[in-house]
Amino acid sequence: MITLPKALVDKFNDWLGREAVDTKRHGEYRKWLRYYLDFCHKYGHGYLDKQSLGLFTEKLKDKGQRSSQIEEASCVRFTDIVSMVIMSEWTRKSENACAGFNSMST
């Protein structure tokens, strides 16, 4: 099982708060995110590919997960969250690069 990067966990926690997910269920949602990313990694599916979610839910069905669990997993918008983290990391790196450039040009 993969370990979630801190940046991803932090962004995911922000998303849980914005979506007003009951705090008692945060652990379950983090579990589904970890399972989804592990699934994508193991089977070579793109994390940001919206079709990956369908393949993930099919795999859950094949493994005998209850329909309520599959529905819960489907509610977590994995691709949006992973995309958010990638963009925030790219933005942070770009800002750092620009700050370095600006300090050199003065």
Q: What is the pLDDT of residues 41-92, one digit of tens each?
A: 899 988 878 788 889 989 999 999 998 888 878 777 766 776 766 665 544 4
Closest CA to 76 of 8, 15, 10, 1: 15
pLDDT at 89: 53
Enclosing domain of residue 44: 6-105
pLDDT at 85: 62
Return mean pLDDT, the chain.
Answer: 76
Q: What is the pTM of this model?
A: 0.70
Name the band, by pLDDT with cuts 50, 70 and 90, for residue 24. very high
Identify whether the C-beta of residue 73 lies closer than 8 Å to the C-beta of residue 35.
yes
Higher pLDDT, residue 28 or 79: 28
Q: Does 63 reside within a domain? A: yes
Residue 23 CA to residue 28 CA, distance in Å, equals: 10
Number of domains in the chain: 1
Q: Does 1 reside within a domain? A: no
Residue 98 CA to residue 100 CA, distance in Å, equals: 5
